[in-house]
Amino acid sequence: MQMSVPLHICMHPGCRRMIPFNQRFCEEHKQDKSKQATNQERMQYEEKELRFYKSTTWTKLSKSFRLRNPTCASCLKRGIIRQAVLVDHIEPIKTAYGWQHRLDESNLQSLCQTCHNAKTAREVAQRRMRSPDRSTPALKF
């Protein structure tokens, strides 16, 4: 007598198909192998960044940098004085150069939330334009 494989619901939002437990998606919602590999790569990549941003080293450095540089660098260039709320990497740590210089103060700037959001949006748009499949960062470290 053959044992039946445990089933669960497809992980695709809204799909209610029952599939074998060792699969994530039903046939209709399966991603192709290249996308799966790309997503796994991206997750590992983002985990590395996340570990860095949660590290004691980064926490101490960013706090001391912001205390010494309390105004938004981007606003200041436009003649506006606004309090900075975070420390940003000028060259993003998503790039090889940025990762190498992630602790160099010459690669840091204090920014307000508005300027940081605008800078991040520009960087994401640039990476998408350079990336072959437009879903992954073009530069890796």
The C-alpha atoms of residue 91 and residue 62 are separated, in whole angstroms, by: 15
Question: How confident is the model at residue 45, as a pLDDT?
Answer: 62
Total-model pTM:
0.62
Residue boundaries of the structural domains of the chain = 43-141
Convert the pLDDT of each residue in 25-83 to its tens digit: 888 887 654 466 566 656 666 888 989 999 999 999 999 999 999 999 999 999 999 99
- Percent of the chain clearing pLDDT 70 (strictly above): 79
Q: What are phi and psi of 111, to 5 degrees?
A: -135, 155
Distance CA 40, CA 128 (A): 18
Cβ-based neighbour number of residue 87 at 10 Å: 19
